[in-house]
Structure 1
């Protein structure tokens, strides 16, 4: 099995995070599964952090649309079995699922679906206010509001550019996360999702999977395992996204008119 992980950060500028991801995936992936890590081009963010761009809808859509649509199409053409959108903002999820038959995995959707089997109320803890906005919309879009007790932001808020340094000295940040998680638990959460890739990876790299008797989901490993499951179902039974309504697929003629390319 071969899985494409598409990060929304330029991974070459996050070497510690990239190395941690690779080590993490090697640990949790099933035998024989290959995970290929892909970042975005460094110039795509023009020296800014992704959060500075994603707070402006036009700019974020413009930045991500070509990359994601081109890469998900390329992944299917190159024989990948699943495609993980490696950001909790889940940009262009509907469009990506409309374009290909291989499973396209959303991190917020998959982690909440998994968590629903372990808790009736789930707390999401994320990086900053920009991610909070995206998560609120994702929970509404997936009709998860009844299962989510709250969405919380870790203070102090850090930009993505500073997060790579956290991997080298994580103690204070982990304590800030746990403080926020305890607040979520007090307000009804019986399971915690670290709902941002960098946050989730800091915790997993330091084996932080529980607080006060409440589980902390592996927010990076769980979507990968979910991708493996859907990929197997796709291979064995042909399972694919619904084509009559929400994820209608373009015809070959329409795809020629609107090719999935970076042009």
Structure 2
């Protein structure tokens, strides 16, 4: 199977992370799974904790979503904790579309009864909790603690030994400890780069038997499962009633005149 993994980082600004993400996903992939990792190339890719910048980058995400389906990929994986473009892409594509935050939360529910989130900075706080609310899991989250990474690109330096690495790993451990003290049974590093950094550092437990979830790997494995389910269900993995309903064939010609080549899998009626 072929999976399109869409990061929200600009590869040139995050070289160490890009290499670590590739190593992490390749180690975890099933035999026969091909993973194409794409970042942000056109505009941005360094500060998506700000809503306006996330919005700008999401345009490219949705363009790449259309590319993924056109090029024959079996699923789209959105590897950013804000799940940018998740719901529009699900509505648009015929292949499964999974998001990092949603997948992390649903996976954590299978691992423990309560969840702690370690966010990168204060700006991420409300954005992440909005995603929690969308999944209906607000009552499962017992703690949200933060590191002090206001400039997200600073995380890239932590992939090499040195002061930055020790400082950021120490900040994560302190925040994870606080989550555990609040009753968390699973801790999610609520930043895609941090997840991979911790996995590379061999940190899989927050203490007292509390696992630290690498949701990048969870997203990959959920993507593989979604592709298999989609095949077994005759391509009916995504509901077409309500939230992810597509336009009826009788309207698609009119919509294409106004918007361009939208919903490419729908034949004009």
Q: Residue 100 of structure 1 is aligned with which of 78, 93, 101?
A: 93
Question: Are positions 1:257 and 2:251 aligned together?
Answer: no
The structure 1 segments of at least 4 consecutive aligned residues displaced by more than 4 Å after TM superposition are none
Secondary structure of 2:187's partner?
strand
Change (3 A) 1:172 1:260: farther
Q: Residue 54 of structure 2 is aligned with which of 52, 60, 66?
A: 60
Q: Residue 237 of structure 2 is aligned with which of 213, 233, 240?
A: 240
Give the aligned partner of residue 266 of structure 2. none
1:76/1:100 contact within 8 Å kept:
yes
Q: Per-residue deviation at 1:255?
A: 4.3
| Higher Cα radius of gyration | 2
Secondary structure of 1:102's partner?
coil
Change (3 A) 1:260 1:151: farther
Q: Residue 175 of structure 1 is aligned with which of 159, 170, 178?
A: 170
Q: Residue 191 of structure 1 is aligned with which of 167, 173, 186?
A: 186
Equivalent residues in 2 for 1:135-174, closer than 5 Å? 135-154=128-147, 156-169=148-161, 170-174=165-169
Give the aligned partner of residue 267 of structure 2. none
Give the aligned partner of residue 24 of structure 1. 24
Q: Residue 47 of structure 2 is aligned with which of 45, 50, 54?
A: 50
Q: What CA distance in whole angstroms lies between the structure 1 residues aligned with 2:224 and 2:214? A: 15
Q: Per-residue deviation at 1:259?
A: 3.3
Q: Per-residue deviation at 1:55?
A: 2.2
Question: Are positions 1:112 and 2:112 aligned together?
Answer: no
Residues 159-205 of structure 1, C-alpha deviations (whole Å, 9 max, x = no match): 12211111113233112111110100100100111111111011011
Q: Residue 134 of structure 1 is aligned with which of 105, 127, 133?
A: 127
Q: Per-residue deviation at 1:93?
A: 1.4
Change (3 A) 1:39 1:239: same
Change (3 A) 1:255 1:236: farther
1:3/1:36 contact within 8 Å kept:
yes
TM-score, structure 1 normalization: 0.90
Q: Per-residue deviation at 1:245?
A: 0.4
Give the aligned partner of residue 15 of structure 2. 15
Unaligned runs of 5+ in 2: 263-269
Q: Per-residue deviation at 1:236?
A: 1.7
Q: Per-residue deviation at 1:118?
A: 1.4
Q: Residue 209 of structure 1 is aligned with which of 186, 204, 207?
A: 204
Q: What CA distance in whole angstroms lies between the structure 2 residues aligned with 1:33 and 1:139? A: 30
Q: What CA distance in whole angstroms lies between the structure 2 residues aligned with 1:85 and 1:256? A: 29
1:100/1:249 contact within 8 Å kept:
no
Q: What CA distance in whole angstroms lies between the structure 2 residues aligned with 1:118 and 1:143? A: 17
Give the aligned partner of residue 220 of structure 2. 224
Secondary structure of 2:145's partner?
strand
TM-score, structure 2 normalization: 0.88
